[in-house]
Amino acid sequence: MIRKACLMKVFPNCQEEYKKRHEGIWPEMVNMLTEYGAHNYSIHLDSTTNSLFAYLEIEEEEKWSKSAETEICKKWWTYMKDVMETNPDNSPVIVNLQEVFYQA
């Protein structure tokens, strides 16, 4: 497994809506994540900075990168664009983090 982590930002006053939308994540989105090799996916919120820390484990980088091309992923991005920082294609603005320590 490949461990990945990144930072994102939720808009001020949208923290509860962001959480609510993930509590009701679409089954099709969950299926896509599994199909494209995502495991142990979690997102954590720092409510003082509106920062989101995401962690997931993936099977293969190439397989995972293709998940962004799926219709369900693009639909999810459009659904989420009003509550978080996004790029022109509606994908979340992501800062990928480099792993500097791991202890199994």
Domain holding 80: CATH number? 3.30.70.100
Chain segment 47-62, per-residue pLDDT in tens: 999 999 999 999 999 9
**82 in a domain, yes or no?**
yes
Which three-class secondary structure state does DSSP give residue 29? Answer: helix
H/E stretch holding 78: helix 71-80
The β-bridge partners of 51 are: 9, 46
Tell me the residue range of the domain where 26 lies: 2-96
Chain segment 3-15, per-residue pLDDT in tens: 999 999 999 999 9
How many domains does the chain divide into? 1
pLDDT value for 37: 98
CB 6 within 8 A of CB 91: no
Residue whose tokens read 């409510």: 47
Chain segment 36-89, per-residue pLDDT in tens: 999 999 999 999 999 999 999 999 999 999 999 999 999 999 999 999 999 999
**103 in a domain, yes or no?**
no
Give the catalytic positions in this structure. Answer: 22
Average pLDDT of every residue of the chain: 97
**50 in a domain, yes or no?**
yes
pTM for this predicted structure: 0.92
The CA-atom distances, in angstroms, between 98 and each of 5, 7, 13 are: 8, 11, 29
Query: Longest C-alpha distance within the chain, in Å?
Result: 38
Mean pLDDT of 97-103: 96
Which three-class secondary structure state does DSSP give residue 5? Answer: strand
